[in-house]
Amino acid sequence: MAKVIFVYNPSSGKGKIEKNLELIKNAIIEKFGSVDIVKSTSKENFQETIKNACKDYDYILFSGGDGTFNMTINAIPLDLPSLPIFGYLPGGSTNDMGYNVNISNNIKEGIFDLLNATPHEYNIGSIGDHKFIYVADFGAFTDVSHITPADQKKRFGRLAYLKYALQSLKRTVRPHRIVVDGVVYHTPLMIISNSREVGSFKINPEKEQDDGLYYIVIVKNGKLRGLLNVIYLFAFGLQQAIKKNKVISFQSPLFKLDCDYEDWDVDGEYVKLKFPLTCGYSRKKVKILTNR
């Protein structure tokens, strides 16, 4: 019998995981026969639980937002000879990785999707010493998830972000200097990703997350300090933005970066980085349950 643990972040989303915990528990038991359930009490407690579970369990199922996914990836001891299979039940206000693995944000539908999914290898990215699963970015609006208070996210969900996006507008929509593989650019927004979806926008829906390549998006300066180009990218997607000359984009396994801005968003988590550094494929993979 497979050993299964379900770890959840109670501060993510609107508390919908705890409201449906009995349903989740019964569904997992029906599939696997038994499950250990752990409610995390802090980021440190969550990551310690994941780290220890990697040695003892066959499946680690976890729930929260995209930041919870990032905490999970950074807690995995990648030097172990074998790792469990991971499964993500979306439970946050925004769930880009839920879209990437094609698991519903609706808890009842999501647990069904998760328990009928199959494992697939996903790349683990790195930026400096920090690991990420789908995106590292900086610039316009990327601090919104960090400055929006947790109680507002829990109460209003995605709507809470709108108010703080407007507050973020003047501060973050301005050009920054970035050096990529020796070439200098000035941009209001830069994205490094292997994701189909970023910020709940499907900017690159055909991307595969196991090919070892990361795409880089450098939004061009333009009217309103490049704000209109940023909006175009998220409204129409990466390929259309490239065609309309709104962005510069290319792919590589690794990028050498230098930047005048240290406050980055990494999988929805705030990270202060020290440059120069290398970013891209860490040469490590993890098996995640997916319906893609």
Per-residue pLDDT band at 67 (split at 50, 70, 90): confident
Domain match, 203 and 59 both: no
Domain match, 60 and 137 both: no
Residue 10, pLDDT score: 85
Residue 292, pLDDT score: 86
Residue 34, pLDDT score: 97
User: Final residue of a domain: which of 67, 84, 116?
Assistant: 116
Q: In the structure encoding, which two tokens stand for residue 141, read together? A: 């609006």
Integer angstrom CA distances of residue 166 from 15, 130, 171? 26, 29, 10
Q: Which one, of 142, 154, 28, lies nearest residue 91 by Cα?
A: 154
The pTM of this model reads: 0.86
Cα 145 from chain centroid (whole Å): 12
Domain match, 81 and 208 both: no
Residue 151, pLDDT score: 56
Tell me the residue ranges of DSSP E strands in the chain: 4-8, 36-39, 59-64, 85-90, 118-127, 130-132, 135-139, 176-180, 183-187, 189-193, 214-219, 247-252, 254-259, 263-266, 269-272, 277-290
Cite the DSSP H helix spans in 80-158.
96-100, 107-115, 144-147, 150-156
Percent of the chain residues topping a pLDDT of 90: 64
Residue 188 is part of a domain; what is its CATH number? Answer: 2.60.200.40
Instruction: Name, of 80-89, 141-150, 204-213, the range with top average pLDDT.
Output: 80-89
CA distance 264 to 154: 23
User: Out of 97-111, 120-134, 179-193, 221-235, which region has the weakest mean confidence (pLDDT)?
Assistant: 221-235
Per-residue pLDDT band at 269 (split at 50, 70, 90): confident
Domain match, 137 and 46 both: no
DSSP 41: S
Tokens 């026969």 sit on residue: 33
User: Out of 19-28, 134-143, 190-199, which region has the weakest mean confidence (pLDDT)?
Assistant: 134-143
- Name the residue with higher pLDDT: 127 or 231: 127
Domain match, 150 and 87 both: no
CB 7 within 8 A of CB 46: yes
The whole domain housing 88 covers: 4-116
Q: What is the DSSP string of 267-279?
A: TTEEEE--SSEEE
pLDDT above 60: residue 156: no
34 in a structural domain: yes
pLDDT above 80: residue 47: yes
| pLDDT tens figures, 212-231 | 999 999 999 877 778 889 88
User: Out of 21-35, 219-233, 240-254, which region has the weakest mean confidence (pLDDT)?
Assistant: 219-233
Other Cβ atoms less than 10 A from the Cβ of 55: the count is 10
Integer angstrom CA distances of residue 171 from 140, 143, 144, 163? 8, 10, 11, 14
Residue 122 backbone phi and psi in degrees, to 5: -120, 140
Domain match, 103 and 152 both: no
- Average pLDDT of the chain? 87
**Mean pLDDT for the stretch of residues 236-254:** 95
Q: Which one, of 100, 77, 67, lies nearest residue 198 by Cα?
A: 100
pLDDT above 80: residue 168: no
Domain match, 138 and 63 both: no
3-state helix, strand, coil in the chain (%, to 5): 35, 35, 35
292 in a structural domain: no
Per-residue pLDDT band at 69 (split at 50, 70, 90): very high
Residue 164, pLDDT score: 44
Q: In the structure encoding, which two tokens stand for residue 102, read together? A: 């094609």
Polymer length in residues for the chain: 292
